[in-house]
Amino acid sequence: MSEIQFRSDMTVELVRASANDADVLYAARVSTQGEQTLEGALKSDAETDKRDKGLINYLMRDRHGSPFEHNSLTFYVQAPIFVFREFMRHRIASYNEESGRYRELQPVFYVPGPERKLIQVGKPGHYEFHDGSAEQTALVEQETMAVTRASYEAYQRMLEAGIAREVARIVLPLNIYSSMYVTMNSRSLMNFLSLRTSREGTHFPSYPQREIEMVAEKMEDFWAELMPLTYESFNANGRVAP
Amino acid sequence: MSEIQFRSDMTVELVRASANDADVLYAARVSTQGEQTLEGALKSDAETDKRDKGLINYLMRDRHGSPFEHNSLTFYVQAPIFVFREFMRHRIASYNEESGRYRELQPVFYVPGPERKLIQVGKPGHYEFHDGSAEQTALVEQETMAVTRASYEAYQRMLEAGIAREVARIVLPLNIYSSMYVTMNSRSLMNFLSLRTSREGTHFPSYPQREIEMVAEKMEDFWAELMPLTYESFNANGRVAP
Amino acid sequence: MSEIQFRSDMTVELVRASANDADVLYAARVSTQGEQTLEGALKSDAETDKRDKGLINYLMRDRHGSPFEHNSLTFYVQAPIFVFREFMRHRIASYNEESGRYRELQPVFYVPGPERKLIQVGKPGHYEFHDGSAEQTALVEQETMAVTRASYEAYQRMLEAGIAREVARIVLPLNIYSSMYVTMNSRSLMNFLSLRTSREGTHFPSYPQREIEMVAEKMEDFWAELMPLTYESFNANGRVAP
Amino acid sequence: MSEIQFRSDMTVELVRASANDADVLYAARVSTQGEQTLEGALKSDAETDKRDKGLINYLMRDRHGSPFEHNSLTFYVQAPIFVFREFMRHRIASYNEESGRYRELQPVFYVPGPERKLIQVGKPGHYEFHDGSAEQTALVEQETMAVTRASYEAYQRMLEAGIAREVARIVLPLNIYSSMYVTMNSRSLMNFLSLRTSREGTHFPSYPQREIEMVAEKMEDFWAELMPLTYESFNANGRVAP
């Protein structure tokens, strides 16, 4: 049996991307100007830069969302199952996740790190979070580790006794890590970020669970580099998806 | 703390449905005949019955799927989280699930019943399942119950110590029951059934996990009563969604 | 050959609906309270009314959109093809349209009515419309009627000469009426209305073509009666879909 | 006024693509094998080639569709509006089309070429097409050209009289060319091809209008080069989308 591993972080890698601001501009200009060269859409000087920023801002503000769909970002994500449960509620995306029916799951589990705020106050849907006491922090670590170990040992004993993987896995806890391939376009990604991050300047309040927000922030960083004009405009317009 | 409850069955209730064969016929005839009365589509005698069956069969066989979308079935489902994880991969559907962030989860857990085949043989993707020995059956029951109890007690101790529900729940195992509202149209439901049941006569092989198949079979029974002509044609055409 | 008919209005009928505020509440409470009775969700007194309005308003404002999806409205629409072209860009909906391949199209054509503002001023995407002069109004009527007649006569001559319907129809103009069945849930309908109407109080500017707005307004009227609390909250929150 | 131009062909350009067989394999193996290197998925020798073909074939045959979604193809298409009307019924795709509200439409029109079969025989939904006589061919050309010219001249007169573009355009016929950007993943593209082509070896009969098939065939050619293993397997499995 492999050694149990505990982690407090999330893995997000950009596997493949075909995403840039020029395609947004080009798609928008097909609507308004008909034929033009892609070279034209891509050429860059002070004046076109200003016009391009203006166009992207107009699309974002007035909710012309379709020009932001002609692109694609594929991420490889490792996160606990309770994060994947929330993630996969987003339907405008493509998923392939590691299967506990086809393979033996590895003993990698999430335990909250020291910076994770453990105490919630306020009303449902609008919780605020505060640090736990040293005692509370220790309790969470102990309980999580103990349950995790006991569950994984039970899983192992069932596998060794010849029980099917899809049956044995039902005792594993929600903090076990899984991995997936996920592909989205930038419009769907903006919707995901608007709901799964709570960054400054968002137009409507969003109260994501911290662990999915950790994943979302890493995805956001990759995307911000690929589509800087779109990213800037998203932030300037209240982080609402067009 | 509530008493821990173990179950081996699934709950499926039909909450609301607006679904019948006449709407399929009416929608299809808008394409081919333009205006007609709904009364016409609904009237029933021997000759129209035969023509109606023929039209539905033609739509199913030649993959004219859209007439099967003008309807809606809403189910209330109680099932373990490992079932919901597979269920929610179906994106042409609407979901509202009980939230472990907003409320304390109840101690209801799945344990495989005596008829659950526990042993898998064959290649990945094409497993066959066989009964376990008495010893294996007992092992699964013992391990599942023991892990379940220990996990739920840890969950309770964390809640009592003031830890946020969304943190404490991460130790709960995949066999805890959750509940949801799910709405689908009959075309999406046929796709769901084609992938999540393994009934006789299916055109391509399907190897669903037994527990989601238990849910799917109950959904199928409700649907079969509401849309008998469509259901018959689905079965007669290899249980492939149009 | 049938007599050519000119119309300036749109037909919208509600064919079938399973849509009410109680299901929104019930779906939302599955998330937050787990099991409850549908009777409970449906019972009505002064206090529950206030609580119900508050919950729907909270869902709308904070963009919890999924509880608004467990319902279904099916409309029968007659409108010119240039309206259907815009309509069918809405992808979260189900469509069956009359087919010019399967049947001979009827000679019913749209001509702008006297209240249609014919002159646009301002920048692309933010046009304002003004009344045309008597001369302009007459020109539009004459040109439209003349082209329409000539096109339909050409269509007829080709059909009479044995040309396939799918070929002959290519000369028909965009103002010919078509008919369709369309099914949406209330969340998708709110998105449609936010983009295809320009009513007072909308949070972001919307500049729909008047003819699709005429269809949208009729759909809105049916929906407002079925889901009055949801409708009120939609208006109170800037007519933005949650 | 520009000179009227008649065309009998379709334009399809591949603007941008991120699509290859290796990503299908990699996504599928995340499910079954968990972590592996992308380099591993991409390396090529006789043995891995055989294994790769086998895996793609297994996915296609048993309808494991999701691994075919982690890619993206963006096409620029010029075709008549009656083709775009059918095209945009495909909802798992992203569109930006030239707008007749924002710009003056150019006088480019479709007229059937000499190889277009003009006569249909057989039952609705299963038409067969035959060549027209010389007389019929001449009639279609004459009628189409005459209507087209008259319509475009009426459009021009209305624009010159100050009528809004969105109003004037309603007299234009369905054979006017438009242009669009369309983005799909390969799974959605396979569904499109299965319904919009009638090539040899298709499992269920498909009777597309020839003009959309001309567009589909050009898209197919681009895709076949990018993903040769997937393409071969699609053909070997009856040209049904997984």
- CA dihedral angle for residue D81, residue D85, residue D86, residue D90, rounded to 10 degrees: 130
Q: How far apart are CA D144 and CA D164, in angstroms?
A: 26
Confidence of residue D34 (pLDDT cuts 50, 70, 90): low
> Does the distance separating the beta carbons of C63 and A204 come in below 8 Å?
yes
B208 conformational bin, left if phi > 0, alpha if psi -120 to 50, beta if neither? beta
Touching partners of A (3+ C-beta pairs < 8 Å):
B, C, D
Q: Which pLDDT score is estimated for D194?
A: 95
CA distance A134 to chain C (A): 30
If pLDDT is split at 50, 70 and 90, which confidence band does B157 have? very high
What stretches of chain C adopt beta strand conformation (E)? Answer: 5-7, 11-18, 72-80, 94-97, 108-110, 119-121, 128-130, 177-184
Task: Say if residues C104 and C155 touch (Cβ distance below 8 Å).
Answer: no
pTM across the whole model: 0.95
Same domain, C120 and C156: yes
Task: Check residues D189 and B125 and name the one with the higher pLDDT.
Answer: D189
Q: CB distance A62–C124 less than 8 Å?
A: no
Is C135 part of a structural domain of the chain?
yes
**Could you give the 3-state DSSP secondary structure of residue C232?**
helix
What average pLDDT is seen over chain D? 92
| Chain A nearest C-alpha distance from C205 (Å) | 6
For residues C169 and C202, state if they share a domain: no
Whether residues B32 and D124 touch (CB distance < 8 A) is answered with yes
CA distance A7 to A141: 11
What residues in A contact C57, CB-CB < 8 Å?
none
pLDDT at A37: 53
Segment B98-107 mean pLDDT:
92
Q: Give the pLDDT of residue A2.
A: 72
Considering only B50-54, B187-191, D40-44, which range has the smallest mean pLDDT? D40-44
Which of C2, C5, C16 best tests the B interface by mutation, with the highest count of B CBs <10 A?
A: C16
pLDDT score, position A41: 54
Facing residue for D16 by CB, picked from A23, A34, A179: A23
| pLDDT > 90 in chain C, percent | 81
Confidence of residue B127 (pLDDT cuts 50, 70, 90): confident
C189: tokens are 């309908």
Q: Is D127 domain-assigned? A: yes
> What pLDDT, on the 0 to 100 scale, is given for residue D35?
47
C143 shares a domain with C80: yes
What is the per-residue pLDDT across A83-113, written as a single tens digit (0 to 9) for each?
999 999 999 999 999 999 988 999 999 999 9
The answer to whether the Cβ–Cβ distance between A66 and D31 falls below 8 Å is no
Asked if the model's pLDDT at residue D213 lies above 70, the reply is yes
Residues of the domain holding B198: 14-73+180-236
C193 and C132 both lie in a single domain: no
What is the predicted pLDDT for the residue at B178?
Answer: 97
In 3D, which of B153, B167, B182, B148 has the Cα closest to residue B79? Answer: B182
Judge: C144–D173 Cβ closer than 8 Å, yes or no: no
Taking only the tens place, the pLDDT of each residue in C2-43 is 799 999 999 999 999 999 999 999 999 987 765 455 555 556
Confidence band for B168, pLDDT divided at 50, 70 and 90: very high
- The pLDDT value recorded for residue B43 is 60
D103-130: average pLDDT: 90
Closest A-chain CA to D91? A92
Output the pLDDT for position A236: 95
Using CA coordinates, name the residue in chain D closest to B59: D125
Clarify whether residues C129 and C214 are in a common domain: no
Cα gap D236→D242, rounded to integer Å: 12
Residue of D nearest to C128 (CA): D164
- Banded model confidence at residue B235, pLDDT cuts 50, 70, 90: very high
Query: How many domains does chain B divide into?
Result: 1
Distance from CA of D53 to the nearest CA of A (A): 19
| Judgement on whether residues C217 and C162 belong to the same structural domain of the protein | no
Averaged pLDDT for residues B197-205? 82
Mean of the per-residue pLDDT values of chain C: 92
Are residues D136 and C88, on separate chains, in Cβ contact within 8 Å?
no
Q: Are residues B62 and D195, on separate chains, in Cβ contact within 8 Å?
A: no
Most A-contacting residue of D38, D104, D183 (CB-CB within 10 A), to test interface: D183
The residues of B whose Cβ lies within 8 A of any Cβ of D are: 32, 58, 61-64, 66, 89, 124-125, 194-195, 204-206
Average the pLDDT over D150-176 and give the result.
98
Q: Please state, rounded to an integer, the average pLDDT across all residues of chain B.
A: 92
Higher local confidence (pLDDT), B71 or A49:
B71
Confidence of residue B35 (pLDDT cuts 50, 70, 90): very low
Catalytic residue among B169, B187, B196, B239: B196
In a domain, C112, yes or no: yes
Q: What is the Cα gyration radius of chain A?
A: 22
Which residues on chain A are in Cβ contact (under 8 Å) with C64? 125
Pick from A104, A72, A78: which is nearest to A13 by CA?
A78
Question: Do A125 and C61 make contact, defined as CB atoms within 8 angstroms?
Answer: no
Q: How many CB atoms lie within 10 A of CB C39?
A: 8
Confidence of residue D195 (pLDDT cuts 50, 70, 90): very high
Of all residues in chain B, the one with the smallest CA distance to D123 is B32
Is the pLDDT confidence value at A38 over 60?
no
Question: Which among C132, C161, C178 is the end of a domain?
Answer: C178
**Residues C187 and C221 both lie in one domain:** yes
* The pLDDT of residue A35: 47
Nearest Cα to Cα of residue A163 among A217, A84, A104: A104
Mean pLDDT of D62-81: 96
A31 to D96: CB separation less than 8 angstroms, yes or no: yes
Shared domain check, C147 and C85: yes
- C61, C66, C194 member nearest A204 (Cβ): C61
Q: For D119-149, write each residue's pLDDT tens digit.
A: 999 877 678 899 999 999 999 999 999 999 9
Residue A40 has pLDDT above 70, yes or no: no
Low-confidence winner among A186-195, B94-103, C47-56 (lowest mean pLDDT): C47-56
- CB within 8 Å of D33: residues ≥ 6 apart: A103
Of the given ranges (A38-42, A77-81, B6-10, D26-30), which has the lowest mean pLDDT? A38-42
The amino acid at A157? R
Nearest by CB to B30, which of C31, C70, C96?
Answer: C96
D168-193: pLDDT as tens digits: 999 999 999 999 999 999 999 999 99
D-chain residues near C100 (CB < 8 A): 82
Subunits with at least 3 CB pairs below 8 A relative to chain D? A, B, C
Residue appearing with tokens 């209005």: C9
In the predicted structure, residue B44 carries a pLDDT above the cut 70 = no
Interface of chain D against chain A, CB under 8 Å?
15-18, 23, 26-28, 30-35, 38, 66-67, 69-72, 74, 76, 94-99, 102-103, 106, 179-181, 183, 185
Positions of D annotated as catalytic residues are 196
CATH of the domain at C31: 3.30.1360.170
Average pLDDT, chain A: 92
What percent of chain B has a predicted confidence (pLDDT) above 90?
81
pLDDT tens figures, A203-232: 777 889 999 999 999 999 999 999 999 999
Cβ of B62 within 8 Å of Cβ of D32? The answer is no
Residue among C17, C32, C35 minimizing CB distance to B102: C32
| Cβ <8 Å between B195 and D63 | yes
- Whether D63 shows a pLDDT value over 50: the answer reads yes
Cβ-Cβ pairs closer than 8 A, A with B, add up to 144
Task: Report yes or no on C95 lying in a domain.
Answer: no
Give percent of chain C with pLDDT exceeding 70. 94
Compute the nearest-CA separation of C64 from chain A (Å). 9
Residue A20 has pLDDT above 80, yes or no: yes
pLDDT at A186 over 90: yes
Of B58, B125, B194, the CB nearest to D125: B58
Q: What's the rounded Cα separation, in Å, for the pair B129 and B134?
A: 16
Question: What integer pLDDT is reported at residue C2 of this predicted model?
Answer: 72
Residues C48 and C67 reside in one and the same domain:
yes
Closest C-chain CA to D142: C154
The distance of A62 to chain C (nearest Cα, Å) reads: 6
How many Cβ contacts (< 8 angstroms) between chains A and C? 25
Report d(CA D9, CA D111) in Å as an integer.
9
Partner-chain contact D96 A30, CB within 8 Å:
yes
> A58 and C125: CB-CB below 8 Å?
yes
Instruction: Give the model's confidence band at A1: pLDDT under 50 very low, under 70 low, under 90 confident, else very high.
Output: low
Average pLDDT over residues D84-99: 97
State what percent of residues in chain A have pLDDT above 70: 94
Residue C228 lies in a domain: yes
pLDDT value at A10 more than 60 = yes
pLDDT band at B129 (very low <50, low <70, confident <90, very high): very high
> Which region, left, alpha or beta, applies to residue B34 given φ > 0 means left and ψ of -120 to 50 means alpha?
left
**Domain-located, residue D65:** no
Rounded to an integer, the average pLDDT of A4-9 is 97
Instruction: In whole angstroms, give the CA distance from residue B186 to residue B192.
Output: 10
Query: Do C43 and C83 lie in a common domain?
Result: no
Same domain flag for C115 and C196: no
In a domain, D37, yes or no: no
Say what the pLDDT of residue C100 is. 92
Six-digit token string for C196: 């295809």
**In terms of DSSP bridges, do strands B177-184 and D72-80 run parallel, antiparallel, or are they unpaired?**
unpaired
Kindly list the residues from chain C whose CB atom is less than 8 angstroms away from the CB atom of residue D151. Answer: 147, 151, 173
Tell me if B60 is assigned to some domain. yes
Q: Which of C196, C199, C210, C239 is catalytic?
A: C196
Q: Give the burial class of A156: count Cβ atoms within 10 A of its Cβ; 0-12 exposed, 13-18 middle, 19 or more buried.
A: middle
Share of chain A above pLDDT 90, in %: 81
**CB-nearest partner of A125 from C58, C195, C206:** C58
| C203 in the same domain as C110 | no
The verdict on a CB contact (< 8 Å) between B174 and A102 is no
Instruction: Give the strands of the sheet with C72-80, arranged side by side.
Output: C11-18, C72-80, C177-184, C94-97
